[in-house]
Amino acid sequence: MIKVGIVGGTGYTGVELLRLLAVHPDVQLTAITSRKEDGLPVADMFPSLRGRVNLAFSAPDKADLRQCDVVFFATPHGVAMAQAPELLAAGVKVIDLAADFRIKDRAVFEQWYKIEHSCPELLEEAAYGLAELNRDAISQARLVANPGCYPTTMQLGYYPLLKAGVIDAAGLIADCKSGVSGAGRKAEIGTLFSESSDNFKAYGVAGHRHTPETVAQLQQFSATPVELVFTPHLVPMIRGMHSTLYARLTREISNEALQALFEEQYKDAPFVDVMPFGSHPETRSTRGSNMLRLALHRPGNGNTVIVLVVQDNLVKGASGQAVQCMNLMFGLAEDTGLKQIALLP
């Protein structure tokens, strides 16, 4: 059994990790930390876990995470980098759901996240945790940087087109929407029910932290510079993410050939569903599951290709993806413990 610790178990990604790992056949939940909730039984905070998780939260200084095989950090940016070196030195593998190790360039990270990186020596070592594009590196890694939710949709949506060299890498446009849970489990005016319900708005238009992460990853697959216009939006739902991706075709290619690029690329990816050309994937078709669904469109058979991508931002966009990485790191089947079917209605 894999002994698992979770740092920061009281947020949405933390409880999602607990939901998934509590029924994982190869996992033993060992420690869940929270300084504020020290001693509180997990099931008292999250009644959905009654009878499944019998642990209590522990203050970080009381939990011996070095006894774990792997530790997940479901914490704000900056926490994992402070604790990862000690854990790695003790032979514990680390999966960070925040951004501490996603961006290899220290200066770029510090520019966007406004904090100094305390262990830059680990940046190059960290494997980027998008299994569909980085499976081999993840399986050999001791430190994994879990991708951002929006970057997951953008990378999986653009990758086959960039790899084939059929689109203009300098003209990518991503129009993306996320449910309110993407903002985290904290009290802020903008995410109060009466502020976000019956409302729709863009944010981060002048620049969003997920842009440099996405560009840096996509650049690996393009022979020409990648330029991305990314605009996120907040929609009045709890879970779900929908990204509409636009790209300009640079050579003649049939719709059938475009579809084949995606079907061939993801034929062995258990959590990417390439729907028939012209389909309209819905966020509810992924709710509560680790599945990402996408579909291609080509208005008027012109030079613009559109990729529609949906996922649950808390599962494939965060905690489910982290468990997917854990499976690879410990030599398990990639879909172990992640076969939940989406909730409908």
When pLDDT is cut at 50, 70 and 90, the band that residue 196 belongs to is confident
Indicate the pTM of the whole model: 0.96
149 is known as an active-site residue: yes
Q: Find the mean pLDDT for residues 250-275.
A: 98
* Catalytic pick among 68, 119, 149, 325: 149
Q: Find the mean pLDDT for residues 213-221.
A: 97
Q: Lowest-pLDDT range, 7-11, 97-101, 133-137, 233-237?
A: 7-11
When pLDDT is cut at 50, 70 and 90, the band that residue 280 belongs to is very high
Considering the chain, what percentage of its residues have pLDDT values greater than 70?
100
CB neighbourhood size of 343 (10 A): 13
When pLDDT is cut at 50, 70 and 90, the band that residue 334 belongs to is very high
Question: What pLDDT is stored for residue 120 in this prediction?
Answer: 94
- First-residue to last-residue Cα distance in the chain: 35
**What's the burial of 204, exposed, middle or buried (CB within 10 Å: 0-12/13-18/19+)?**
middle
Q: Find the mean pLDDT for residues 44-72.
A: 94
Backbone angles phi and psi of 143, in degrees to 5? -135, 120
Q: Find the mean pLDDT for residues 184-206.
A: 87
Q: Which of 61, 72, 123 is nearest to 98 (CA)?
A: 72
Q: Which domains does the chain have, with CATH numbers?
A: 2-125 (3.40.50.720), 149-313 (3.30.360.10)
CA atoms of 175 and 344, how far apart (whole Å):
25
pLDDT exceeds 90 at position 185: no
Could you tell me the CA-to-CA distances from 44 to 53, 134, 186, 302 in Å, in that order?
10, 38, 18, 56
